[in-house]
Structure 1
Amino acid sequence: MAPAATALIDRAAGLVLGQRGFLFPWAPVCLGVGIGLYFLLRVEPPTWALWLAALAGLAGLVAQARMNAVAGPLVAAVALACLGIGLAGARSHGVAGPVLDFRYYGSIEGRVVGIDRSASDAVRLTLDRVVLERMAPEDTPTRVRVSLHGEQGFAPLEPDAVVILTGHLGPPGGAVEPGGFDFRRHAWFLRLGAVGYTRNPVLLLEEPGGGQAVFAARMALSQYVQKALPGETGAFAAAVTTGDRSGMGQETLDALRDTNLAHLLAISGLHMGLLAGFVFGALRVGLLLVPLVRHHWPVKRLAAAGALVAAFGYLLLSGGNVATERAFVMAAVALTAVMLHRRALSLRAVAMAALIILVLQPEAMLGPGFQMSFAATTALVAVFEQVSGLQRERRLPRWAAPVISLLVSSAVAGFATAPVAMTHFNRMTHYGLIANLVSVPVMGMMVVPAAVVAALLSPLGLDWLALAVMGWGLDWILLVARTVAAWEGAVRPIPAPGPGVLPLMAMGGLILCLWRGRGRLAGMVPAALALALWVGAERPALLIADSGALVGLMTPEGRALSRPRGSGFIAEVWLENDGSRLDQAGAAGLWPGEAEGRVARGRLGSWEVIHLQGKIASRGFAECRADQIVVASEALALSGPCLRFDPDTLGATGAVAVSARPDGLRVVTDRELSGDRLWHRRPAAQDAPLRLAQTGQ
């Protein structure tokens, strides 16, 4: 072997040996790489390949235990990646269920298993045990979700109640633009086989039978809290205590998001840590006040066990989303460590929480909840290891510790989660640090303790005293959110990055947090590369909705839309991804060509873009030229060599993005990027319209 190669291998071995004792936090990273690879595939792998990957991963983990200190970690990394592929595949097949493949209107019967609110502020019901008119049970979706519009009674909206309604259902939609958020995949793992709406009243068919005890307890507690604290304060209190956000108005949610205070709604590490810490401290003090207990019982261990029970109860009442599960695992690991006289908080605990969630729910890795939760926690633990080191060396005065902890925790958590928030929500909050500095202490010293005291006083009928204190704290937080959100420049729109930006940013952050020694500075390289790619990202010149009902054309002033109303959700997402401040009506005013009646004409380089809206416009357009792109919301019957997109074509392609290049047009479709996966199955007969759209023949 060449001396240079030998030296390179020796250096790599030295790097691995230098990380001995600190490699476990990389285990969920390697597992996540495998999960990510599975979801990046364009074609669903056969079942035997998934089994092979899982078995290879298990075999590698067993074999690495007998290897040396250099080969063992490397084999373990590859084995965990293989295991991640197998786990993600097993989960995908395990949640498989029927998906509606047509537009349905008729009676819908089912049991209420979820109540929340949609982005349009409408109450939504999630139903299981679904019965649809004239549909065989084996073809009926496992679950459906229905938004309630119009006047609705609240009697049927009870957990475990069987309801019946008349409404519209359809298959879960794909991404509104190629490479965007894939709701179809998201719905697959929620076991939602159809989504829709109703404008008719929901009728109660059967009273609740007690089959959803935890859910019923959550909603009963939520209603009790909202009755004790009316208005947005009570809705906020219900969200904090039970995870039920169905009572919160959209304006309040927007104010919390615009000030980076929305994390106070999620029952996550902050709430779970405050609850467990308060219960642990209260139990420990109470037990120490009893002389017999103080001298003969393990007070600290008993307090930790009691706090663990309280945290588990909080997990059940909260509904158990990813952030709450991560927080509970972290709290459980910390409290167990206290009972075993071990270090309570470390990167190992964070890694253990990530491993548990990724094994049980591999798809969680793709969501902003998992990404933001672990980004904040990993960064906080890594930074506070350094801060605690300074404190042990007496470099910081004792009085400064809580002040610095508050400042550092708010700044670090905000900095760590900012790339994830900007990627998923296309916004940057400029005054989030200020809002958190004056709100988080109130949550920790007033709201959460008052909630615990209210639970203790409830059997005596005195919980209203503590709930009033809790309400004062939440009123302050809402006042801060509304005040800061009204400041000029509070929110800045951010254009959506390319597909590789967030993984590169995550890798850079993980190296900075997990690597030991000066080598951690190497994490600046992928982070800087991600930032450069983000700044240089280009948005598609032309976007076409999968229904053909909306077209978006990029102009020097921003995205121009072909119509001022209709397809509002698609328009909102397109403009958010562009980083635009305009609404749909304002964007429609930018359309660069004629927009007479139901026909809108614009230009994309040397190509003319024509959008035909409605049956009359579509039928009246009979012939086209080679330099035209024709989009229609109804089926087209025209001759000519143009590039055409109508509902038949778009049914196969999904949303379309078109870019003008010197050598012609580049057409990218949602189907091209999403591939043929379990949640994207399409009939083979639809391939012909896809080829027609791509070639223009």
Structure 2
Amino acid sequence: MGHGLGRIGTELEGQRGHLFPWVPVFLGVGIGVYFLWPSEPALLLLALAGGAGVLPLLVQHRLPPGLAPLPVALGLALCGFALAGGRAHLVAGPQIDFRYYGPIEGRIAGIDRSASDAVRLVLDRVVLDMPPDRVPQRVRVALHGDQHQLDPQPGQRVILTGHLAAPGGAVEPGGFDFRRNAWFLRLGAVGYTRTPVLLLAEPEGGQVVLRSRMALSHRVQARLPGETGAFAAALVTGDRSAMSQATLEALRRSNLAHLLAISGLHMGLLAGFVFGALRVALLLVPHVRHYWPVKKIAAAAGLAAAAGYLALSGGNVATERAFVMVAVMLGAVMLDRRALSLRAVALAALIVLALRPEALLGPGFQMSFAATVALVAVFGALRDLGHERAVPGWARGAMSLLVSSLTASLATGPIAMVHFNLLSQYGLLANLVSVPVMGLLIMPMAVMAALLMPLGLDWIAFAVMAPGLDWILAVAQEVAGWQGASRQVVAPGPLVLPLLAAGGLMLALWQGHGRWTGLAPLLLAALLWSQTARPDLLIADTGGLVGLLTPQGRALSKAKGSGFAAETWLENDGQAGGQAEAAALWPGPPGPVARAGLRGLQVVHLQGKRAAAAFGGCTGGEIVVASTDLDDLPGCEIYDPERLARTGAVALWLTQDGARLRHAREGRARLWQDRRAPRSAEDQ
């Protein structure tokens, strides 16, 4: 054992000077463990984990140099565990645990659009017809029907009559948990209204940034009407409320949807343009060129521009993450350090995880840092090999664009497939002809528009920007329309993404030949993904939908209703087509009493109270799913709303040894879960 520890110590000693990039990795491991914990850890356990985690960090200088990283790594993981738990308690707030219908009053704190293209309002300072201590901090309401009476503006106090329910949980075991996501957004209820929203009071101060952001969005759309202006507003302010679902779908299928996220690309282009333009301008003045720290002044100006962009773009998690990364890079320039290094990227990741540990679970965090780490590692390796000198000067720009696009696509592609179940076949080509337009035309003109806006001359910059915006939209529509432009991908098992991360990080961060051991987890992840077995039976957490896996694909028990669950199941199956096509595959007679048999499994889905009342009972062994509560039926395995309140969504696999069953709410409830099942609201 001593010899083994000696070899480990020797290997770690060879990483001296290159271990800091692993700090956010192990902090993230602890955060991940917290979210995978089967029950909510006690506050005492979180405190003990935090204390035990800090101890190795304080005494690391007294540990043997070769083995010191091991207890430090464990300490970072324990700190991550405590950090995530503390954050979950910090954002705690009431969540509705029943279906509410009645008056809803609040102040508009956010405006966006739902998947059904309805305008949605996020309200804070909420007043509901219930005890004040049970009222959520924020609610989100989708607006249906005729809503022309009000032009929603941030800060307005409004009232409406609508439906609210708890944010929905995972639609299948192991799937995306919207309820957990809503917890960290302090969103305690979601719902919809079909009645007009009425204005109670105009904005009375506060929300200056949000109101400025929406005012800027409206100005952009006034200068550039139609879908072009909506796209420009999304790029400049992050306000996507004017974009159509058709455009969003085209951008997704062409792998250009990342252009909508105000992330590292936009923030980097903006700060880079300000940095470069100011530096060139200052260098043109002889006295300034010789006596002023031109590079540092330009970096400070780029940082100020990035901070302003952060404020006006809404300051969401993705934008905050991008700002931190840019701030670290420009700060390194001002301190005469290498701006683009793995240490700088690690510091940015560390700050983001310390502020918002839950960001670790989101595709935005994973994809942006995967792309950045890969780009830094690849260009660093090319620099060390001297390949830059082997490329003629006139071709270096094109070669850098090709290498960066290919590297970013390879790094983010598998993560995108895990989260979105979509593979864009021509995404690299679409990015090659779109990203340069974003960097060379659109973002510089956005800066010019901001400078010209006080003079009322911003229309000039927007007019120059418009062809670039139209070009990207045209590329998205064209590529999305090609045969086989996108392909559905089966959702992998829970081990695939951690294995992909471990392999990629080993290849990028480890020094020496040992980095190639990172290929092993990547190959194992690919093998596990290829062997993914989807559930033979899926039951929605409301009892409103059943899905059977037939040889022809997922068959659904009804063609309409429970659309969110249906869409998610089909996406996770990698199955093209919609709910109506999947309902046509149902192997039994459709209707309010939908019966089906599959490989010895007999399923009955009762839809509505009449179907439940007319059901005569089981002959033995059937699984009965109902959208309304049932009395005990001898010989039946019943899943009605009362039982599903305890189990959540249900998945069943048929194996040679019998059946394997999983519930979405296995174990005791977490902070963001209620023991009663959340009911899906229409806007999810």
TM-score by length of 1: 0.95
Match of 1:678, SS state, is: coil
Residue of structure 2 in register with 1:509 after alignment:
504
Residue of structure 2 in register with 1:608 after alignment:
602
Q: Contact between 1:57 and 1:79, CA under 8 Å: does it hold in 2? A: yes
Give the distance between the partners of 2:563 and 2:441, measured in 1 at CA: 41
Q: Contact between 2:8 and 2:67, CA under 8 Å: does it hold in 1? A: no
Letter in 2 for 1:583: G
Match of 1:372, SS state, is: helix
Residue of structure 2 in register with 1:678 after alignment:
671
Residue of structure 2 in register with 1:694 after alignment:
none
- Structure 2 residue 216 is matched with structure 1 residue 224: no
Match of 1:428, SS state, is: strand
Give the distance between the partners of 1:600 and 1:155, measured in 2 at CA: 43
- Structure 2 residue 668 is matched with structure 1 residue 669: no
Residue of structure 2 in register with 1:85 after alignment:
81
- Partner of residue 491 from structure 2, selected from 474, 482, 496: 496
Q: Deviations over 1:36-60 (max 9, x none)?
A: 0001011111101101111111122
TM-score by length of 2: 0.97
- Partner of residue 202 from structure 2, selected from 204, 207, 222: 207
Residue of structure 2 in register with 1:446 after alignment:
441
- Partner of residue 112 from structure 2, selected from 97, 111, 116: 116
Residue of structure 2 in register with 1:59 after alignment:
55
Q: Quote how far apart the aligned CAs of 1:396 are.
A: 2.8
Q: Contact between 2:602 and 2:622, CA under 8 Å: does it hold in 1? A: yes
Give the distance between the partners of 1:185 and 1:346, measured in 2 at CA: 34
Give the distance between the partners of 2:552 and 2:419, measured in 1 at CA: 24
- Partner of residue 654 from structure 1, selected from 625, 628, 648: 648
Give the distance between the partners of 1:459 and 1:623, measured in 2 at CA: 74
CA distance change for structure 1 residues 293 and 551 in 2, over 3 Å: closer, same or farther?
Answer: same
Q: Deviations over 1:207-245 (max 9, x none)?
A: 111210111111110010011001111111111111111
- Partner of residue 249 from structure 1, selected from 244, 253, 266: 244
Give the distance between the partners of 1:270 and 1:490, measured in 2 at CA: 24
Q: Quote how far apart the aligned CAs of 1:388 are.
A: 2.3
Letter in 2 for 1:662: Q
Letter in 2 for 1:636: L
Give the distance between the partners of 1:321 and 1:70, measured in 2 at CA: 41
Q: Contact between 2:12 and 2:67, CA under 8 Å: does it hold in 1? A: no
Letter in 2 for 1:618: A
Give the distance between the partners of 2:3 and 2:482, measured in 1 at CA: 58
Moved more, 640-649 or 508-517: 640-649
Letter in 2 for 1:104: Y
Give the distance between the partners of 1:498 and 1:188, measured in 2 at CA: 25
Q: Quote how far apart the aligned CAs of 1:290 are.
A: 2.9
Moved more, 71-80 or 477-486: 71-80
- Structure 2 residue 134 is matched with structure 1 residue 139: yes
Letter in 1 for 2:426: Y
- Partner of residue 629 from structure 1, selected from 620, 623, 628: 623
- Structure 2 residue 362 is matched with structure 1 residue 370: no
Letter in 1 for 2:558: R
Give the distance between the partners of 2:175 and 2:579, measured in 1 at CA: 19
- Structure 2 residue 634 is matched with structure 1 residue 620: no
Q: Percent of aligned pairs with the same residue?
A: 64
1:525-544 matched pairs, under 5 angstroms:
525-544=520-539
Q: Quote how far apart the aligned CAs of 1:160 are.
A: 1.1
Match of 2:10, SS state, is: helix
Q: Contact between 1:624 and 1:638, CA under 8 Å: does it hold in 2? A: no
Q: Quote how far apart the aligned CAs of 1:297 are.
A: 1.9
Letter in 2 for 1:664: G
Q: Compute the RMSD of aligned alpha carbons.
A: 1.4
Q: Quote how far apart the aligned CAs of 1:632 are.
A: 1.2
Q: Deviations over 1:324-378 (max 9, x none)?
A: 2222122112212212221111011110111001011000100111111111111
Residue of structure 1 in register with 2:680 after alignment:
none
Give the distance between the partners of 2:275 and 2:558, measured in 1 at CA: 58
Letter in 2 for 1:507: A
CA distance change for structure 1 residues 655 and 46 in 2, over 3 Å: closer, same or farther?
Answer: same
Match of 2:675, SS state, is: coil
Letter in 2 for 1:493: Q
Q: Quote how far apart the aligned CAs of 1:154 are.
A: 6.9
Give the distance between the partners of 2:67 and 2:520, measured in 1 at CA: 26
1:225-624 matched pairs, under 5 angstroms:
225-391=220-386, 394-595=389-590, 597-624=591-618
Q: Contact between 2:120 and 2:141, CA under 8 Å: does it hold in 1? A: yes
Give the distance between the partners of 1:169 and 1:681, measured in 2 at CA: 16
Q: Quote how far apart the aligned CAs of 1:423 are.
A: 0.8
Give the distance between the partners of 2:14 and 2:412, measured in 1 at CA: 29
CA distance change for structure 1 residues 642 and 130 in 2, over 3 Å: closer, same or farther?
Answer: same
Residue of structure 1 in register with 2:36 after alignment:
40
Match of 2:630, SS state, is: coil
Give the distance between the partners of 2:413 and 2:513, measured in 1 at CA: 25
Q: Quote how far apart the aligned CAs of 1:667 are.
A: 2.0
Q: Contact between 2:96 and 2:135, CA under 8 Å: does it hold in 1? A: yes
Q: Contact between 1:626 and 1:643, CA under 8 Å: does it hold in 2? A: no
Give the distance between the partners of 2:633 and 2:5, measured in 1 at CA: 64
Match of 2:393, SS state, is: coil
Give the distance between the partners of 2:267 and 2:399, measured in 1 at CA: 22
Q: Contact between 2:174 and 2:494, CA under 8 Å: does it hold in 1? A: yes
Moved more, 405-414 or 651-660: 651-660
Letter in 2 for 1:300: K
Residue of structure 2 in register with 1:691 after alignment:
none
Q: Deviations over 1:91-141 (max 9, x none)?
A: 0000000111110000000111111111111111111110001x1211111
Unaligned runs of 5+ in 2: 678-684
Q: Contact between 1:170 and 1:194, CA under 8 Å: does it hold in 2? A: yes
Larger RCO (CA under 8 A, 6+ residues apart): 2
CA distance change for structure 1 residues 633 and 9 in 2, over 3 Å: closer, same or farther?
Answer: same
Q: Quote how far apart the aligned CAs of 1:571 are.
A: 0.7
Give the distance between the partners of 1:571 and 1:437, measured in 2 at CA: 35
Letter in 1 for 2:71: V
Give the distance between the partners of 1:397 and 1:285, measured in 2 at CA: 24
Residue of structure 2 in register with 1:692 after alignment:
none
Give the distance between the partners of 2:220 and 2:112, measured in 1 at CA: 17
Letter in 1 for 2:41: P
Give the distance between the partners of 1:79 and 1:185, measured in 2 at CA: 26
Q: Quote how far apart the aligned CAs of 1:393 are.
A: 6.9
- Structure 2 residue 9 is matched with structure 1 residue 13: yes
Moved more, 329-338 or 423-432: 329-338
Q: Quote how far apart the aligned CAs of 1:402 are.
A: 1.1
- Partner of residue 95 from structure 1, selected from 91, 95, 103: 91
Q: Deviations over 1:303-331 (max 9, x none)?
A: 11111111111111112233322221221
Q: Quote how far apart the aligned CAs of 1:286 are.
A: 1.9
Q: Contact between 1:623 and 1:638, CA under 8 Å: does it hold in 2? A: no
Q: Contact between 1:153 and 1:202, CA under 8 Å: does it hold in 2? A: no
Q: Quote how far apart the aligned CAs of 1:392 are.
A: 6.9
Q: Contact between 2:648 and 2:665, CA under 8 Å: does it hold in 1? A: yes
Q: Contact between 1:594 and 1:601, CA under 8 Å: does it hold in 2? A: yes
